[in-house]
Structure 1
Amino acid sequence: MSNFKNVSVKKEANIYHDGKVTSRTVEFEDGSVKSLGIMLPGEYTFGTDEAEIMEMISGELEIKLPNEDWKTLNTPETFEVGANSSFDLKIKTVTDYCCSYIKS
């Protein structure tokens, strides 16, 4: 899905890692939430409260999920991360992403 309809977007940005990762929160009529963002080159660790589906739309990057080895992603590509865990990213080029939060 490349377009979202009937959504609410929070104006305030989510800013992480000294401004090298930013996103905007998108809320849907059914209560589901996604964030749309950009990551600049660098190495980052992210923690999760809820399970997430990460859609890497464009960019060159590597990922290390819990209990796995580093893996190169060929965008566009999607991966899931469990609740209450963390994952590492090595961003090689500006990377565009969409994160969907999965309520338990």
Structure 2
Amino acid sequence: MISQNSYFDNNVKSLGYTSATGKSTLGVMEPGEYEFSTSLHETMTVVEGEMTVKLPNVSEWVTYKAGEAYEIDANESFLVKVNTQTAYLCQYK
């Protein structure tokens, strides 16, 4: 079953699904700044656009472009900035 998710006053929308590799969401973010929290380990891959990210326990912001990925452990929070609509794939473990 495909689930629909909407966050931050509809500025972040995603579709959730389960594949052979596990649970994932495929979504789009409007320009803005967001704080996300995790309940599972996440691998976030930028599909289109770019996102600037401040991961937990890291002082610098890092920009990830299309085709690049980063990981966040379970039970953490992280900050994201996007300047243009940005598509992503988030895989959970």
Q: TM over 0.5: same fold?
A: yes
What amino acid sits opposite 1:71 in the alignment?
A: V
Query: Which residue of the partner structure matches residue 82 of structure 1?
Result: 73
Runs of 4+ in 1 over 4 A off after TM superposition: none
Instruction: Quote the Cα distance in structure 1 between the aligned partners of 2:36 and 2:86.
Output: 15
* Unpaired stretches in structure 2, ≥5 consecutive residues: none
CA distances 1:3-52 after superposition (whole Å, capped 9, x unpaired)? xxxxx423xx2000000000011112x47110000000000000000000
Task: Provide the aligned length of Structure 1 versus Structure 2.
Answer: 92
Structure with more relative contact order (C-alpha pairs < 8 Å, separation 6 or more): 2
**TM-score, normalised with respect to structure 1:** 0.82
Post-superposition offset of 1:74: 2.4
Deviates more, 1:90-99 or 1:58-67: 58-67
**TM-score, normalised with respect to structure 2:** 0.91
Calculate the aligned-residue CA RMSD, in Å: 1.4
Post-superposition offset of 1:58: 1.1
Q: Report which of the two structures shows the higher radius of gyration computed on alpha carbons.
A: 1
Q: Percent identity among equivalent residues?
A: 39
Query: Which residue of the partner structure matches residue 27 of structure 1?
Result: 18
